[in-house]
Amino acid sequence: MPPDQIPQVLAGAILIMALIVLAIIDFRTFRLPDIITLPLLMTGLIFNFLYQPGFTSIDSALVGAALGFGFLWVINFLYRLLKKQDGIGLGDAKLLAALGAWMGWQALPEILLLAALLGLVGGWVWLRWQRLATNQAFPFGPFIAFAGIIALLWPNFLLLPSRLLLT
């Protein structure tokens, strides 16, 4: 490995470990603690500011953090207007903001789509495993975390099937 890639590899390893820890915590407690999500967000911004090439530009990281949080906040706000209850926690929004800070706003659509697909299948399995009705809540953070890991390790993962067909 070239010496100039060591900081990026170490930062990626730290991000993956933090995402795994957050996934386990959310799976067990339905909580994504600020003590982990907020430093993770700040670390992503600092890393992309100080280290170039980071995972993305600082501009993209700042926009990614804002859009990551803002998108899920708006979704929850609209859901709350309709249903008079929260539909998604702000911990999920902070986690998506952290992923936006690390990987930039361009990674957010793929992360959200992967998380939604994983959440559909994983949530259904989890609800069946727990013998709960399909209208019961389940933690979404683990699916955001694993989608973030996939997006970090295999950027444009969702384009892979089309690339295989076109080759």
- The model's pLDDT over 107-139, given as tens digits with 9 standing for 90+, comes to 999 999 999 999 999 888 878 888 877 777 789
Q: Structure pTM?
A: 0.90
Residue 159 corresponds to which amino acid? L
pLDDT score, position 161: 55
Q: How far is the C-alpha of 69 from the C-alpha of 46, rounded, in Å?
A: 18
Average of per-residue pLDDT across 57-76: 97
Work out how many domains the chain is built from and give that number: 1
Q: What is the span of the domain harbouring residue 58?
A: 3-166
CB 30 within 8 A of CB 139: yes
